[in-house]
Amino acid sequence: MRVALLGGTGDIGEGLALRMGRDTDHTVVIGSREAERGRQAANEYNDTLASHGAEGAIEGGANPEAAARADVVVLAVPAYHLADTVDAVADSLGEAVLVSPAVGMQRDESGLHYNPPGAGSVTALATQVAPDGVPVVGAFHNLAAGRLAELEAELGWDVPIVGDDDDAKKTVMRLADGVTGLRALDAGGLDNATEIESLTPLLINLAANNGGLHDLGVSFH
């Protein structure tokens, strides 16, 4: 499978790239608004994999270049860049599955709070801006990016996944299950994205206010 991580130079993109690059045989492509930045990040990730005894073959380029021929395109960008990113690659998506892990949040003196867009969730926003016929799946919302990028760290996290296209959802579930320490869970249709996205600020607030709870994820028993 060919997996494009648009905005893959950021924290969540780095973590997903390193884990997929080490644990799977998928082709991972880092996308950025600037092609050279995407290629530079790919080289750095390959060096990190090599330092952990893994053969890295991560590629990099501009976002449209990364999305072209991809089977799965992950929008690893902040929520406020999502619409612009989709617009920039719309002609390159083909039959790819579009994945949204972004969460809208705002901070005040009490901490972080869920701040969804008018569409109801960032995943719902992705469905609104996606080209016709491109299935959207919500996944990877609750992963702690720092721990994800620490390849020596064990994860043990569940990944709730939502989508209205069953085949697209199964594709993303297989992708998540291929990463050591992640377990994909079917969380139903896209309308359930709100509940999943709203967990992220809770996890960050818990980590910030309780010693020993750094880099929290979710695990259901």
pLDDT per residue as tens digits for the range 96-140 = 999 999 999 999 999 999 999 999 999 999 999 999 999 999 999
Say if residues 28 and 21 touch (Cβ distance below 8 Å): yes
Instruction: Lowest mean pLDDT of 5-14, 18-27, 100-109, 210-219, name the range.
Output: 210-219
Say if residues 168 and 189 touch (Cβ distance below 8 Å): no
Domain 2-209 fold is: Rossmann fold (3.40.50)
How much is the pLDDT for 30? 97
Q: In the predicted model, what is the mean pLDDT of residues 57-76?
A: 96
**pLDDT tens-place string over residues 201-215:** 999 999 999 988 888
The CA angle 125-131-134, to the nearest 5 degrees, is 90
Rounded to whole angstroms, the Cα distance separating 140 from 3 reads 14
Residue 57 has pLDDT above 90, yes or no: no
How much is the pLDDT for 214? 83
What pTM value is reported for the model? Answer: 0.94
Instruction: Lowest mean pLDDT of 52-56, 125-129, 195-199, name the range.
Output: 52-56
Return the percentage of the chain with pLDDT > 90, whole number.
94
